[in-house]
Copies of this chain bind each other. A is one copy, B any other.
Amino acid sequence: MFVILCYDVGVKRNAKVKKLTRKYLRPVQKSVCEGYITEKNLNRLCALLKDAIDPAEDAVAVYRFASNTDFEKDAIGLARQNEDFIL
């Protein structure tokens, strides 16, 4: 499936969440990743994120699609690609 994952987490947990999400998905903005992922890997990633965040403070939203043809995407300003990011 194709996934867009957005996170909004406290500064202390940001590096950990960034590392976890970028292990499975490609970054498109500082706190937004997207990409194809298997259900098994998504479940794994969600479990890891659940452990890494503070549920009282942090938010992670996962939008799931059958494929990346289910939507249209426009960019204003920078359209960041994988190569702009150093993990």
In the bound assembly, the distance between CA atoms of A67 and B16 in angstroms comes to 33
Q: Are A28 and B61 in contact (CB under 8 A)?
A: yes
Q: Are A63 and B59 in contact (CB under 8 A)?
A: no
Taken together, the copies of this chain in the complex come to: 2
The interface residues of chain B lying within 8 Å CB-to-CB of A59 are 28-29, 75-80
User: Cβ of A72 < 8 Å from any Cβ of B?
Assistant: yes
The interface residues of chain B lying within 8 Å CB-to-CB of A53 are 76-77
Per-residue contact bits, chain A 52-87, to B (CB 8 Å; 1 contact, 0 not): 011111111111110000111111111110000000
Q: Are B64 and A72 in contact (CB under 8 A)?
A: yes
A residues whose Cβ falls under 8 Å from a Cβ of B: 4, 6-9, 28-32, 46, 49-50, 53-65, 70-80
